[in-house]
Amino acid sequence: MTPSPLVEISGLCKWYDDFSALYDISLTVAEGEKVVICGPSGSGKSTLIRCINQLEGHQQGSIRVAGQEVRPGMKGIEAIRREVGMVFQSFNLFPHMTILDNLTIGPIRNRGMGRAAARALAMEYLNKVRISEQADKYPPQLSGGQQQRVAIARALCMQPRVMLFDEPTSALDPEMIAGVLEVMETLARDGMTMIVVTHEMGFARRVADRVVFMDEGEIVETAPPEAFFSAPRTNRAKLFLGQLLAH
Amino acid sequence: MALFGLVLAAVVFVAWRVNSVLVYNWDWSRVLGFVARIDAETGQWVSNLLLQGLFTTIRLAFWGTILAAIIGLVMGYWRTCDTLALRIISRTYVELIRNIPPLVFIFIFYFFISSQLFPALGMDNIDRNSPWVDNAFFRFAFGEPALFTNFMSGLICLALFEAAYITEIVRAGIQSIDKGQWEAGRAIGLSRSNLLRDIIFPQAIRKILPPLAGQFITLIKDSAIISLISVQELTFLATEVAATTGKTFETWILVAAMYFALCYLFAFVFARLERRAGRSTR
């Protein structure tokens, strides 16, 4: 039996008034696959992954997650969102709750899990991101890197089948980045399906099965990381990689 | 320091004017007799008009704060809703009340709405002798059963008026919450009601606590206006006491002190609440 694709996007279009944000995007991600999306800012990378869990609605095309079609304004979107974890550039932890409560609120409210079970689950994931000793603190008391690791644990607590990362290291100080990437790599080794928007090319080389290069709302090139970084086929990709290396 | 001296000088000057120019006879005893008196039959101290008025004002403040907070919270949320109908309702409510003087609103409310609505709701037919009404708790919470309708029209009027301002405070509070908080809540699959209850409202309330406290204190002070529709609260009864005794200065100074104590106490409680809320977020 061939594994059915976990995320299936075809002919996706999205526009704001007369500005086209995404145009004719087709992308299939299989269970266990790791896809890195890169491209210049404003190329629609974030918009694309935000469509997958419908933080943004699309106008045309279809998105299927674990076989279920995702539509803007649909009822029961919560059931799909529990399969899709998301990590944001700016962490977005809930500042009025302890770290532990940040992690347990999702399982308790969405999955109807008991408080004790949710706590046990949360501690397990906090251990995984090596931050369990901070469980009773509040988010603003933690460093950026720690907060992002908590955010990863919060998403994992929903036991999702796919994880979306929206530039998870872009808001971090350089010395904090390594810890977050390490957690992400461990996650990848454990077999999690991941779609990662990032400029961390080292991470892409080590972890990605495929690199998707986007520009101006379109997918320009899709290739395995080695091929993409050493011999990009399109001029736009060459230009982008040149700029990345130059700085 | 210079300012304090100036104020002191002004007080001394006014006192001197009152004493020597108006030849005013200060007599606190008559006014104080209206705070509390000894009941001729039982020989015990009982509250008199001014204290009764103060209690009514406190009841108005208590229920008014709760009612205004509920209306303000709902309307404030509606102001931020995606549903157009809810936005129109709440916006109309706010604009209507904010752009009419309180006095005019109170008259309109009293003569057109409460005089029509309350009989229709059967409020006038409440049996004053039923055990639901004629008991100690009811008297403690709402005052004399005979004055209940009168009290309610004053209360609803006051709450509706203040809630319009609370609506705007709540709206500002909700809108001040970062978009990322909504997104993070949605991303972990929270329903809209859970998102509001667990994520958005708790943060918004902490932010709006200071302006909210100010509005609640304004509510206490504004309760004086509804003396105009004969609600027997502090200001209404003070007018009667001042007229009966002729001791205008004493009466109003005493009443001012009562309002001050009440509002200051309220501000103090809220300041403590604020500190507690601040501790947990940091």
Residue A59: per-residue pLDDT: 94
Residue B282: per-residue pLDDT: 46
Closest CA to A165 of A149, A178, A179: A149
Alpha-carbon torsion, ordered B17, B19, B24, B26, to 10 deg:
130
pLDDT level of residue B279 (50, 70, 90 thresholds): low
pLDDT level of residue B31 (50, 70, 90 thresholds): confident
CB contact under 8 A, B180 and A110: no
Cα B27 to Cα B212: distance, rounded to the nearest angstrom: 40
* Residues A131-138: contacts with CB under 8 Å, at least 24 apart: A131/A99, A134/A99, A135/A98, A135/A99, A135/A100, A136/A98, A136/A99, A136/A100, A137/A98, A137/A99, A138/A95, A138/A96, A138/A97, A138/A98, A138/A99, A138/B280, A138/B281, A138/B282
pLDDT tens-digit profile of B247-264?
888 899 999 999 999 999
B167, B96 Cβ separation under 8 angstroms? no
Inform me whether the pLDDT recorded for B2 exceeds 80.
Answer: yes
- Enumerate chain A positions whose Cβ falls within 8 A of a Cβ in B: 53, 55, 78-79, 81-82, 84-86, 88, 90, 92-96, 105-106, 109-110, 138, 140-141, 151, 154-155, 157-158
Identify the closest residue of chain B to A96 by CA–CA distance: B281
Cα A238 to Cα B13: distance, rounded to the nearest angstrom: 86
Inform me whether the pLDDT recorded for B42 exceeds 50.
Answer: yes
Residue A1: per-residue pLDDT: 46
pLDDT level of residue A3 (50, 70, 90 thresholds): low
B207 touches chain A (CB under 8 A): no
Q: Which of A84-98, B6-20, B61-75, B87-101 has the lowest mean pLDDT?
A: B6-20
Residue A63, beta-bridge partner list: A9, A70
Inform me whether the pLDDT recorded for B215 exceeds 50.
Answer: yes
pLDDT tens-digit profile of A65-106?
998 999 998 888 999 999 999 999 999 999 999 999 999 999
Domains in chain B with CATH codes: 25-281 (1.10.3720.10)
The residue assigned the tokens 């106490």 is B265
8-state DSSP, A90 = T
Identify the closest residue of chain A to B277 by CA–CA distance: A96
- Tell me which H or E stretch contains B81: none
Instruction: Choose, out of B83, B188, B196, B282, the residue to mutate when testing the contact with A (most A CBs < 10 Å).
Output: B188
Q: Which of A48-57, B16-25, B39-48 has the highest mean pLDDT?
A: A48-57
pLDDT tens-digit profile of B117-162?
777 777 777 777 787 777 888 888 888 888 888 888 899 999 999 9
Inform me whether the pLDDT recorded for B240 exceeds 50.
Answer: yes
Cα A48 to Cα A57: distance, rounded to the nearest angstrom: 10
8-state DSSP, B20 = I
pLDDT level of residue B48 (50, 70, 90 thresholds): confident
Q: Is B187 exposed, middle or buried (0-12, 13-18, 19+ CB in 10 A)?
A: buried
Residue A84: per-residue pLDDT: 95
pTM (whole model) above 0.90: no
Residue A247: per-residue pLDDT: 65
Residue A2: per-residue pLDDT: 55
Inform me whether the pLDDT recorded for A161 exceeds 60.
Answer: yes
Q: Which residues of B touch A65 (CB under 8 A)?
A: none
CB contact under 8 A, B188 and A154: yes
Residue B280: per-residue pLDDT: 56
Q: What is the mean pLDDT of residues B73-95?
A: 95
Residue A169: per-residue pLDDT: 94
Handedness of CA B50, B52, B56, B57 (dihedral sign): positive
Q: Which residues of A touch B206 (CB under 8 A)?
A: 96
Chain A: nearest CA to B146, how far in angstroms? Answer: 47
Inform me whether the pLDDT recorded for B190 exceeds 70.
Answer: yes
CB contact under 8 A, A110 and B190: yes
B200 touches chain A (CB under 8 A): no
The rounded percent of chain A whose pLDDT value lies above 90 is 90
Identify the closest residue of chain B to A151 by CA–CA distance: B184
A54, A72 Cβ separation under 8 angstroms? yes
B190 touches chain A (CB under 8 A): yes
